[in-house]
Chain A
């Protein structure tokens, strides 16, 4: 039996116009008056419109757990929003058999002034649960979230961990026929993530249809049998998950030690930040896809600032190809540097860092780039800007031909003392 059938789904958004979001009446009138003139001047009457998703067709069988992967901005979230009826397609149709529960976020509608108990009811109702369903599940939800003692405390007094646990707990106890989940597991500490994943696989085993979007390849591999790969708004591949993950990794990461950002990879919201390229350099200063673990590795991010930015930090996340974080580092991590660059003037920059020798283990690594002002704005993020290979020749312990566990391979100074 089919649970979801999507046929040629497409969604178009307007971008780059002041009227992307709400307008004032004046703007609308002005635009209407100016539109015929503009149309005469430029023959592109679809200016400023992009297809976030186009021509996507697929079927999901009842009880199937389907993964969805793709780079940031590829259209994954748009697909989930369409299927959960938050937004409507520009073209195409989708048929959905059964009640859909969507988890595009946890804790939607949580109000800080309300107590944990009150928020469980409210959030449950927003997610489409009936009152008696919530009552029946109440104790289970509280136990899962481990907030028994604070259930009558306003959630504004909760720690962020407690808040997340409660929010996820409500969502996890939804019992729709079809569950649509987006990246909710990207939050919380490792232990909580494990718990969420456990709950997810329980859900999957109960025979419910699940659509699961994630950047976490190990989670995708663990939970799903089949996966859709979405690239630039189109369905690039549907295959058994291991195959889809391989395809995705090979596509995203075949960038030869350098990635030059094309115009269409940059959201207009990145302005005034304009990324140009990122490169991996070996100690000889050559761009390299494979570097040696025993040598320092230099990472360069080149960008333009069209206007001065206050508190800007440009940095990297280093990840394994499974999507697990290894470290985070920003160019203004040093307090003195941060003071000096309190306002970064407009101009052309390279932010450069060096990963010391004898740090990374052998394997393939992914560099994600982030440019943001803390708690103000995230100008730009590319979760898979680049990947590179580390070769461990000459690294400690190479005389044993075995793979070493863990992403780092430091050269530690061991002393062996004989005690009499």
Chain B
């Protein structure tokens, strides 16, 4: 076949030039990200009774429980909007993040048979895991639209910023996911740490409560958690909650998120060469 006239030259060598992220290779294999994400989704929907229902049920049931215990019983303030929609808006990006973390952290180990037999940029595995989560997010988003219609809430004019906050969620998920997936190959402890980490993270993110509950002097520290920026952004753009409007703390969240991503990428690249020998 004369398809590729420009014969590419690959050099295989031991020393690890880990400054090179090799993004060109990733681009060449971009379709594989789609196929792997598609495989994850199709397999999950074929193997489970409820299939796509789970994408809705998980955040929905969490919302119901939170609404009863935090909204009704503990009377957690919800900034002037009904508590269920207040918490559901936060649960959407949270579920995406939490699922991405657990799936991405397992992605290399679970696909070890592929890693030991075929070359492809390993980055594809955590990427595909996160992409599959986006599909669930979109399905669960439909419920939010229904709820907004039910409560008669009109999205603010800032709703166009929503994709940016979604992007911030994905960057954070990928950053943490890269660290966890690479560490999981070396230390299986990660499998036990991830659920605990996710649970811990849930409490330090304003899901069941509003970020305005956090005392002023702690806000700076609080904003080191990029998910704070994400959740606030969602509430501000969709529900018009002004205390959650973007401010200097959002910049903090973005910076931390980018640091996670870049450090994650380099760590992943550095460890990538060992995966086939270790898994």
Contact B8 A98 (CB under 8 A): yes
Which residues, 32 to 81 on B, are CB-close (under 8 Å) to A?
A: 32, 35-36, 38-39, 42-43, 46-47
B247 at the interface (CB under 8 A from A): no
Choose, from B93-101, B109-117, B234-242, B257-265, the stretch at the interface. Answer: B109-117
Complexed CA–CA distance, A162 and B153 (Å): 56
A38 at the interface (CB under 8 A from B): no
A-B contact pairs, 8 of them (CB 8 A): A22-B186, A85-B119, A86-B276, A87-B276, A97-B8, A99-B8, A108-B117, A118-B42
Choose, from B11-19, B82-90, B162-170, the stretch at the interface. Answer: B11-19
CB-CB under 8 A from B47, the residues of chain A are 113
Contact A87 B277 (CB under 8 A): yes
B10 at the interface (CB under 8 A from A): yes
CB-CB under 8 A from B12, the residues of chain A are 82-83, 85, 88-89, 93-96
Contact B39 A122 (CB under 8 A): yes
Contact flag A126-B114 (CB < 8 Å), given A21-B278, A96-B10, A175-B1: yes
CB-CB under 8 A from B273, the residues of chain A are 87-88
A296 at the interface (CB under 8 A from B): no
Contact B186 A23 (CB under 8 A): yes
Contact with B along A321-347 (1 / 0, CB 8 A): 000000000000000000000000000
CB-CB under 8 A from A372, the residues of chain B are none
Chain B interface category by residue count? 35 or more
Contact B4 A177 (CB under 8 A): yes
CB-CB under 8 A from A28, the residues of chain B are 186-187
Chain A interface category by residue count? 35 or more
Contact with A along B92-135 (1 / 0, CB 8 A): 00000000000000000001011111111000000000000000
Contact with B along A356-367 (1 / 0, CB 8 A): 000000000000
Which residues, 203 to 224 on A, are CB-close (under 8 Å) to B?
A: none
Complexed CA–CA distance, A93 and B46 (Å): 45
B219 at the interface (CB under 8 A from A): no
Choose, from A127-135, A271-279, A390-398, A399-407, the stretch at the interface. Answer: A127-135
Contact flag A91-B8 (CB < 8 Å), given A84-B118, A85-B119, A126-B114: no
Contact A91 B7 (CB under 8 A): no
Contact A111 B187 (CB under 8 A): no
Contact A126 B32 (CB under 8 A): yes
CB-CB under 8 A from B8, the residues of chain A are 97-99
Which residues, 64 to 95 on A, are CB-close (under 8 Å) to B?
A: 81-95
Contact B35 A93 (CB under 8 A): no
Give chain A nearest CB distance to B46 CB in angstroms: 5
A42 at the interface (CB under 8 A from B): no
Contact flag A24-B187 (CB < 8 Å), given A95-B9, A99-B4: yes
Give chain B nearest CB distance to A392 CB in angstroms: 45
Contact B10 A85 (CB under 8 A): yes
Contact B7 A177 (CB under 8 A): yes
Contact B120 A108 (CB under 8 A): no
Contact A90 B39 (CB under 8 A): no
Q: A82, A86, A102: which has the most chain B beta carbons within 10 Å?
A: A86
B189 at the interface (CB under 8 A from A): yes
Contact B277 A96 (CB under 8 A): no
**Quick one: which of A21, A91, A108 contacts B14, CB cutoff 8 A?**
A91
Q: What are the 3 A-B residue pairs with the smallest beta carbon separation, nearest first?
A: A85-B119, A125-B35, A94-B12
Give chain B nearest CB distance to A415 CB in angstroms: 56
Contact B118 A108 (CB under 8 A): yes
Complexed CA–CA distance, A109 and B119 (Å): 12
Give chain B nearest CB distance to A219 CB in angstroms: 21
Complexed CA–CA distance, A111 and B278 (Å): 23
A114 at the interface (CB under 8 A from B): yes
Contact B11 A95 (CB under 8 A): yes
CB-CB under 8 A from A177, the residues of chain B are 4, 7
B216 at the interface (CB under 8 A from A): no
Nearest A residue to B4 via CB reads: A99
CB-CB under 8 A from A89, the residues of chain B are 12-14
**Quick one: which of B31, B39, B119 contacts A111, CB cutoff 8 A?**
B39
CB-CB under 8 A from B279, the residues of chain A are 21-22
Complexed CA–CA distance, A125 and B186 (Å): 27
CB-CB under 8 A from A22, the residues of chain B are 185-188, 278-279
A105 at the interface (CB under 8 A from B): yes
A294 at the interface (CB under 8 A from B): no
Q: B11, B43, B46, B119: which has the most chain A beta carbons within 10 Å?
A: B119
Complexed CA–CA distance, A94 and B273 (Å): 15
**Quick one: which of B29, B46, B117 contacts A104, CB cutoff 8 A?**
B117
A121 at the interface (CB under 8 A from B): yes
A349 at the interface (CB under 8 A from B): no
CB-CB under 8 A from B3, the residues of chain A are 175
Contact A88 B14 (CB under 8 A): yes
Contact B118 A127 (CB under 8 A): yes
**Quick one: which of B9, B29, B188 contacts A96, CB cutoff 8 A?**
B9
Nearest B residue to A92 via CB reads: B14
Nearest A residue to B13 via CB reads: A93
Complexed CA–CA distance, A85 and B272 (Å): 11
Complexed CA–CA distance, A28 and B279 (Å): 16
CB-CB under 8 A from B111, the residues of chain A are 109
Complexed CA–CA distance, A128 and B3 (Å): 14
Give chain B nearest CB distance to A168 CB in angstroms: 14
A47 at the interface (CB under 8 A from B): no
Nearest A residue to B119 via CB reads: A85
Give chain B nearest CB distance to A167 CB in angstroms: 12
A100 at the interface (CB under 8 A from B): yes
CB-CB under 8 A from B116, the residues of chain A are 86
A13 at the interface (CB under 8 A from B): yes
Complexed CA–CA distance, A90 and B111 (Å): 24
**Quick one: which of B7, B120, B186 contacts A128, CB cutoff 8 A?**
B120
Which residues, 145 to 186 on B, are CB-close (under 8 Å) to A?
A: 185-186
What 5 new A-B contacts, CB under 8 Å, besides A84-B119, A96-B9, A109-B113? Answer: A113-B43, A113-B46, A113-B47, A125-B35, A127-B118
Complexed CA–CA distance, A26 and B187 (Å): 9
Contact B115 A24 (CB under 8 A): no
